[in-house]
Structure 1
């Protein structure tokens, strides 16, 4: 006898950020649950809601994120959306090729190429027709980082309006709508309040955790925190006679409660090892040790400051010593060395400032409390700020600020190269709206590599001329 009700099982993860410690347990759980549902003739889906990729991990860095896709394939995911880590920490070419070989759909309605076309790897939405004739519409969107996407050659649309357009497009063709939202908890609540036709929003981006979900109007919100600590589960009870959802509930499973499978662990470790090998590529020979210092200038910071100054061609440079997570010894410097030293997904930025604003920025940067401040987020993968350091800018004997060899005066214009995390308004409010150019996709470790190679080639040229 045919069942009048169907139970649809949805498993979801978000904001893994390349934290793979629990991935073997997650993989084993998702694969085994899928098999159980197949044996019971039940409907099930597995979704990831973005920021699975994070270039802080050498495996991700070494494989340009393709290793993450292999892990998602192995766990039998059905669909994903992208987060800002996939979207703006990878070059355009890297993102365009990231999902080649993916055995799952990428669902995203608010990103197009700069020419206005949607790339082939993106589905604006997906309608899954189950064996039991239930039509499940899945939509997705990612957070809006307009300046960063535009620098990379993408056009990012305001996500809520983009989602609502897709909802209107498909709502008469489906029996339910599930949204993969890498927008953050406040945007999810707002979307649920303004759009009556979304049944479930699987959330991400703000690393929020809903143990039992949250109802906003008739929309169920679910999210699993961050770093793979939890796997989310949503159950939707659908009445086929009434052709409507009659119940839905969300829960999470802590990874400590999931079984450990040695075979899964070994296979994941083999993938990680294969990806890590790419990090052993030699970049340049370092002729003298470059030592780190957290609360003062150092040989390492001087090298970095000179690199940023030369690469950006700005008049002056400002950065913090806390970005350095180690030192560089004499000898060959590999991708792994620079990645360990500067794992942050941070881009350089050149800001054009009036002298008055540059004086204000410099004054703020000398706050004696800042070196001990703990920094979380903003792309920073260290612990504390450390000393604020400069290149091409100093106080002269008269107490005047000199930048690029000129006295800093109101009315004059100066260019300052710094880290993108200082432009978001948290430390320097006036930089948020200042005229600036983000250098992308170059990260600060790429600038170090460029400068090291440049210096090595210059040394070789001098050596050859001397001969």
Structure 2
């Protein structure tokens, strides 16, 4: 006689790296709410996760609400748990991150971020265990990418994520039937983790914006990820054999957001988010006494003003940045937070790098690459399109050919401090900067520095 196996089907839905791209959010939210209602009616288990970088301060709604608007959106869509990405972790001040999830209706799961005294912040959990409709236990663990220098500057302690995840997975394994991981580590790290930690059944991935159309199996672990910017929603279906206590089948699919049900009011909802953000940033920062125009490929009144702000803020000998940073100019009159955000939406910090004269000369040589100004930049925190011209501030050459950084003549062994953008220190453009001694200025973004300098420069003027 054939005995029918006793099975439970569990449904997971997931998003990652939304980066405050809200064009498809109304459709995604509606879809998740409808699927939850559908599974509830059928008495099926459904869990909804976000794998980090939902927040991105390049969007005025996010910046204007200090990320709390994003939390409200996650609440309304019925998420069960999230982990944080680097945009939540290192583009916000410690105070802002500590208060970001105060109103969250979901769990924030991360096991590799701590206070400097090794304690766990009250708003996060190293893991959570969820119970299915038949009583199965699902252990959910999570971790975020280890940007050690950046977290340290913000008074956080971050530890190696794969080791932390392995420890948690092994510790909870006897208590649970399934272990899933919310990993904002990137596809390479996810593959290593899957190979190292057999206890993990599913890794929901993020960070490197990888898209796994039907998932990817590494040994017995299923990897799933949905790319970026809300272009897709992920779905993983697990069939669990209750009699044997094992997963019988698991598979991943993705649903294009473009195929989800839309309504005429969706565009209005997105526009309302943008307007809400702009209104919250109506605060006046400084009165600009003269127009500051920009030129993408060469020095301009705006780039000159910005260069002076970097020198004044850091007391560095000279500065380096790119003309493509500026997404417009500044007119004469009051400059608001919204104006500064529109001009410099990038979540980019300043960095002061210590160099020898020979190293600075090498950077100057590389900056003359004629291909760079028209190069498209993606990632690295940059929210523009083209690199634009490379611009040095406080660097000048005398008629006799002597080069000075501020008051210092640039000789081979001269010690020079260079204020530049954090994205230039990752080694993609200037390899010398990657290993040089450096000090990141955090949590201020470059727009905050420009706003500070405007206040200092035009204080009391109208």
The 1:167/1:17 distance shift into structure 2, 3 A limit, reads same
* 1:5 aligned onto 2:4: no
Task: Give the aligned partner of residue 434 of structure 1.
Answer: 436
RMSD: 1.5
SS of the aligned residue for 2:435 comes to coil
* Corresponding residue pairs, total: 459
* 1:317 aligned onto 2:319: yes
- 2-structure distance, mates of 1:269, 1:42: 36
Task: Give the aligned partner of residue 29 of structure 2.
Answer: 27
Task: Give the aligned partner of residue 463 of structure 1.
Answer: none
- 1-structure distance, mates of 2:239, 2:268: 37
Structure 1 residues 40-62: Cα deviation after superposition (integer angstroms, max 9, x where no partner)? 00000000000000011000010
**CA drift at 1:154:** 0.6
The 1:262/1:37 distance shift into structure 2, 3 A limit, reads farther
Superposed, 1:58-457 pairs within 5 Å as 58-261=60-263, 270-457=272-459
Moved more, 259-268 or 219-228: 259-268
CA contact (8 A) 1:108 1:123 kept: yes
CA contact (8 A) 1:27 1:264 kept: no
CA contact (8 A) 2:44 2:133 kept: no
CA contact (8 A) 2:289 2:461 kept: no
- 2-structure distance, mates of 1:262, 1:47: 27
CA contact (8 A) 1:67 1:275 kept: no
SS of the aligned residue for 1:319 comes to strand
- 2-structure distance, mates of 1:267, 1:364: 46
Moved more, 355-364 or 438-447: 355-364
Structure 1 residues 135-155: Cα deviation after superposition (integer angstroms, max 9, x where no partner)? 000000111111100000111
**CA drift at 1:263:** 6.2
- 2-structure distance, mates of 1:44, 1:399: 70
**CA drift at 1:229:** 0.5
- 2-structure distance, mates of 1:60, 1:85: 11
Superposed, 1:22-61 pairs within 5 Å as 22-61=24-63
CA contact (8 A) 1:359 1:401 kept: no
SS of the aligned residue for 2:73 comes to helix
Segments of structure 2 that go 5 or more residues without pairing to the other structure are none
CA contact (8 A) 1:346 1:421 kept: yes
Moved more, 191-200 or 383-392: 383-392
Runs of 4+ in structure 1 off by over 6 angstroms are none
Moved more, 258-267 or 283-292: 258-267
**CA drift at 1:266:** 5.5
**CA drift at 1:314:** 0.6
Using structure 1 for the length normalisation, give the TM-score.
0.96
The 1:265/1:71 distance shift into structure 2, 3 A limit, reads farther
- 2-structure distance, mates of 1:432, 1:302: 26
SS of the aligned residue for 2:98 comes to helix
